């Protein structure tokens, strides 16, 4: 890198601290030049902890600066989209947490604004930066060519949401009140008002899986039907044209357990990805591949990866994108398509 990159941060919440600031503050040739946080005690304390020289309670000050290479926005979900639009309209490269917005209409607006202004725009789907996920995507492509395991028979994506915070600590807390106003809709206008919160919850919890299905498989599936039980499990039947699939999801009351992953059944074997809890530091996900050998002993292959954390890889990749002027592998110009998938599922739910 020929020069130091200047980064601005909007938001200093728990996730901003433990999953983002902790990495950017330790990169060589990267300077966090300014932090914007509505809660002054929290903002100033975070600046002191991470040795950041400038604090403001008005994020528009960051938009007016000419010396920032990008702005990282880690705020409440209801605020992410409106602030992201302000950043993109100010022609600043941007990283936000997921979801990028709450509706297809608003997500498309953000995507179009980034394209119009020729900006680098990343969304925090850090699963794409997990080494096991990257390995799985590559291996699926190889097997498509070699047919070593034959064709895909079906796939299943599963999420039993419990607790994935893994007692992670290291954040400065604040009892200062949060800004709770909502300025953008939390659901499309075709979702009944009494189900808007359900839609919002689905987007928040399941958007990683929706995005991951789109990343792993080259063709977005058609949602054929949905079985939805509000306080129990839910299943969406998917059609990938050459094979079917299911997406299974549901909340549990298990605070120390998190089950999430993808299983692909081939004619002559199985591939399975078990995703690590998001906030389990330095623990990559796990992958196993079983090859059936007919009457001979089958082969089980379980590659291992170095101690690694998708959040850190995501931060490193965003810096590389800024240096090389490339779009991230999880970019907002593409990620709005997740909402086409999400809305297929929700139209199936409402038509049950």
**pLDDT averaged over consecutive 10-residue blocks of the chain (352 residues)?**
86 98 96 98 98 97 97 96 98 98 98 98 98 98 97 97 92 94 94 97 96 94 95 96 97 92 98 97 97 94 96 98 97 96 98 86
pLDDT value for 218: 84
pLDDT value for 148: 97
**Residue 36 is inside which H or E element, if any?**
strand 30-36
Distance (Å, rounded) from C-alpha 32 to C-alpha 84?
Answer: 18
Whether omega for the bond prior to residue 99 falls within 30 degrees of 0, making it cis, is yes
Taking 3-state DSSP, the helix, strand and coil percentages for the chain, each rounded to the nearest 5, stand at: 35, 25, 40
pLDDT value for 253: 87
pLDDT value for 3: 75
Distance (Å, rounded) from C-alpha 167 to C-alpha 233?
Answer: 26
Please choose, from the candidates 38, 40, 59, the residue with its C-alpha nearest in 3D space to the C-alpha of residue 48: 40
What are 121's two structure tokens? 């725009």
On whether the CB atoms of residues 184 and 106 are closer than 8 A, the answer is yes
Please choose, from the candidates 124, 88, 82, the residue with its C-alpha nearest in 3D space to the C-alpha of residue 103: 82
Domains of the chain: 5-126+313-333 (3.40.50.720), 128-308+338-350 (3.30.360.10)
Distance (Å, rounded) from C-alpha 193 to C-alpha 213?
Answer: 28
* Bridge partner list, 161: 251
Please choose, from the candidates 167, 255, 246, the residue with its C-alpha nearest in 3D space to the C-alpha of residue 209: 246
pLDDT value for 2: 60
DSSP β-ladder status, 121-123 and 244-251:
unpaired
On whether the CB atoms of residues 232 and 241 are closer than 8 A, the answer is no
* Bridge partner list, 245: 155, 238
On whether the CB atoms of residues 139 and 289 are closer than 8 A, the answer is yes
65: Cβ–Cβ under 8 A, 6 or more apart, which residues? 8, 33, 34
pLDDT value for 54: 97
């Amino acid at each position: 890198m020929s020069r130091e990159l200047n980064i601005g941060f909007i938001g200093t919440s728990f996730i901003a601290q433990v999953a983002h600031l902790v990495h950017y503050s330790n990169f060589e040739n990267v300077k966090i030049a300014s932090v914007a946080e509505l809660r002054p005690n929290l903002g100033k304390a975070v600046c002191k902890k991470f040795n950041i020289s400038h604090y403001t309670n008005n994020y528009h000050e960051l938009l007016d600066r000419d010396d920032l290479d990008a702005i990282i926005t880690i705020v409440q979900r209801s605020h992410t989209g409106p602030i992201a639009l302000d950043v993109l309209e100010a022609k600043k490269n941007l990283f936000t947490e997921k979801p990028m917005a709450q509706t297809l209409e608003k997500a498309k607006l953000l995507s179009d604004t980034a394209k119009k202004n020729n900006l680098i725009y990343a969304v925090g789907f850090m699963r794409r930066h997990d080494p096991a996920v990257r390995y799985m995507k590559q291996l699926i492509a190889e097997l498509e060519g070699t047919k070593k395991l034959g064709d895909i028979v079906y796939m299943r994506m599963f999420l039993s949401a419990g607790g994935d915070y893994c007692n992670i600590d290291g954040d400065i807390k604040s009892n200062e009140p949060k800004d709770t106003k909502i300025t953008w809709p939390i659901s499309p206008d075709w979702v009944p008002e009494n189900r808007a919160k359900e839609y919002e919850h689905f987007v928040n919890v399941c958007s990683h899986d929706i995005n991951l299905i789109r990343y792993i498989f080259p063709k977005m599936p058609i949602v054929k039907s949905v079985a939805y039980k509000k306080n129990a499990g839910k299943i969406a039947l998917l059609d990938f044209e050459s094979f079917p699939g299911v997406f299974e999801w549901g909340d549990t009351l298990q605070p120390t357990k998190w089950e999430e992953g993808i299983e692909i059944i081939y004619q002559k074997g199985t591939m399975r990805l078990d995703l690590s809890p998001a906030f389990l530091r330095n623990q990559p996900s796990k992958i196993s591949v079983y090859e059936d050998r007919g009457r001979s002993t089958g082969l089980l292959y379980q590659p291992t990866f170095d101690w690694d954390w998708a959040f850190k890889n995501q931060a490193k990749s965003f810096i590389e994108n800024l240096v090389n002027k490339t779009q991230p592998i999880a970019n907002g110009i593409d990620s709005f398509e997740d909402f086409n998938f999400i809305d297929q599922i929700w139209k199936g739910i409402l038509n049950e």
